[in-house]
A and B are shown apart, each in its own frame.
Chain A
């Protein structure tokens, strides 16, 4: 699958430059799998995710969900996907409408499907993500980042999806809350036997929840494999670099300086 974006024209006489956000990405995610996608910022993780979620269309290629190609379907024909697949976003500040009460936010996927009398379900979901029922009548800004992310998870679970797609769900959170939210996601995925697609730039976070990982770099998937395998024996130079970069503290204690790491990075980039 590929995805290209046209940049703003810089001259009247040359065609608009093209950015290759994804080039030849190919993935298979099995039902019930916890699949991680890692890579640095700008490597195309989020673009890939949006395409999987049917929020963006690939320039070329096929995205099959249960055998249906969603890549060429217009948005109004994606109803089945909206029931089956839900998202948790990165920024707990911007992913909840500041003008809506929590009960309306969580009920939104249900209302969109034409369901009425959503309050019982909303209360059930609040309990499932560890929030008080009183939260239903409050506004998003009255909650902390971790709580907001719980609301976001509750909204995603509202239509009883089979696939949960999480776009860096904990990277905007404090380290202290991060583990709680991660555990909540892992626990809910287990309990509801969901398929999880989890995107992060942080390999240690992905390791915490995923069975299988795809490593992305510059719009390409450079390595796919079991989490432990990639963590313990990365094959591709970029994966190795990523794994090496993760436990910075230990490396720093071993006498490696930031300059060493920068030199490593440069050397890795120069490699073909």
Chain B
């Protein structure tokens, strides 16, 4: 269940136990992971209409309170309700994750498919450029973009998205190369199908499972990256609720009020765990060897 471990499980196959679970429908991994992700999504949606307190509401009279019936998770140094901040922060996390994964998939998937389908030089060129991007630290990219476009959630999202392009392109390319070797693609060519039609009707549907798995893994990475950027002051600006910002703001009070670090830390860990479990479960479910049984 490691982050960069990627799709290695796909190659090594499947334990018999989980294959039995898959046949019954949803595996425990998917259920738990999906449950956590759904919970965070619901909390994020809920925070749009209701939070216990205004997440931005500064109240100097109730600073640094411990957990109580009024403030379940206590308050921070400005007297803001930690639970409300966490709830509102999940929104930022979700939006950043969705947009970053969206950017990465929208650019990475076509690049991967194109480079798998062409035998010309530029297919290789795309992948070498991809390697270049892969070697480039995501954080450095984010700092660079921030320097040019200014600090903000949008800059962070785009930076994380761009940094996630290579993993999508690689995973999709390797899957697409496999699809291009099949006889049904040969049959489609013999039927007179144009490359674009083959890409959309044969290659894309047959790599969808890879894309979904990669999306959940990349989402987890994006959650971590957003927290890191906001912690460094490169992501969410002051005033925008974000788990990473909460970590940063609580840092100076680490020994006075450690719970200000613990709660957002748990939230981040939980989100990443949920997404990874979901990704793992989906990967097992989409194992090509199970395809015939579905």
Contact = CB atoms under 8 A, between A and B. Distances in A.
A98 B206 contact: yes
A55 B189 contact: yes
A91 B181 CA distance: 12
Interface in B166-188: 182-184, 186-188
Interface stretch (B156-164, B197-205, B221-229): B197-205
Interface in A65-103: 75-76, 78-79, 82-83, 85-87, 89-91, 94-100
Interface stretch (A106-114, A180-188, A233-241, A252-260): A106-114
Interface string B121-144: 000000000000000000000000
Nearest to A155: B187
A96 B193 contact: no
Given A95-B184, A97-B184, A98-B206, A108 B189 contact: no
A248 interface: no
Given A78-B192, A108-B193, A95 B206 contact: no
Contact of A53 (B184, B190, B193, B197): B190
Contacts, number: 73
A87 B197 contact: no
A242 B193 CA distance: 38
Contact of B184 (A75, A94, A112): A94
Contacts of A100: 201-202, 205
Given A76-B194, A100-B201, A108-B191, A89 B206 contact: no
Contact of B192 (A83, A94, A95, A105): A83
B190 A55 contact: yes
A141 interface: yes
A141 B291 CA distance: 8
B190 A86 contact: yes
A82 B206 contact: no
23 contacts: A50-B186, A86-B190, A87-B186, A89-B183, A89-B187, A90-B183, A94-B184, A95-B182, A95-B183, A95-B186, A97-B184, A97-B188, A97-B205, A98-B291, A99-B205, A99-B206, A100-B205, A105-B184, A108-B187, A108-B191, A112-B191, A141-B294, A155-B191
A94 B187 CA distance: 10
A79 B192 contact: yes
Contacts of A53: 190
Minimum-distance CB pairs A-B, first 9? A82-B192, A109-B191, A95-B183, A112-B192, A99-B205, A89-B183, A97-B184, A141-B292, A94-B182
A113 B192 contact: yes
Nearest to A114: B192
B192 A87 contact: no
A70 to B, nearest CB: 12
Interface of A: 50, 53-55, 75-76, 78-79, 82-83, 85-87, 89-91, 94-100, 105, 108-109, 112-113, 141, 152, 155, 159
A87 to B, nearest CB: 5
A108 B184 CA distance: 11
Nearest to B292: A141
A213 B279 CA distance: 54
Nearest to A97: B184
Nearest to B293: A141
Contacts of B182: 94-95, 97
Nearest to B195: A75
Contacts of A86: 190-191
A219 B159 CA distance: 53
A97 B190 CA distance: 14
B113 to A, nearest CB: 15
Contact of B189 (A75, A83, A95, A141): A75
Contacts of B292: 98, 141
B263 to A, nearest CB: 44
Most A C-beta atoms less than 10 A away, residue of B183, B193, B294: B183
Given A97-B206, A98-B206, A100-B201, A112 B193 contact: yes
Nearest to A50: B186
B265 to A, nearest CB: 42
Most B C-beta atoms less than 10 A away, residue of A90, A108, A109: A108
Contacts of A105: 184
A4 to B, nearest CB: 16
Contacts of B188: 97, 108, 112
B197 A112 contact: yes
A105 B201 CA distance: 11
B213 to A, nearest CB: 16
Contacts of A113: 192
A194 B38 CA distance: 58
Most A C-beta atoms less than 10 A away, residue of B187, B189, B202, B205: B187
Contacts of B186: 50, 55, 87, 89, 95
Contacts of A55: 186, 189-190
A107 to B, nearest CB: 10
Contacts of A89: 183, 186-187
Nearest to B188: A108
Contact of B187 (A79, A83, A95): A95
A54 B186 CA distance: 11
A90 B186 CA distance: 12
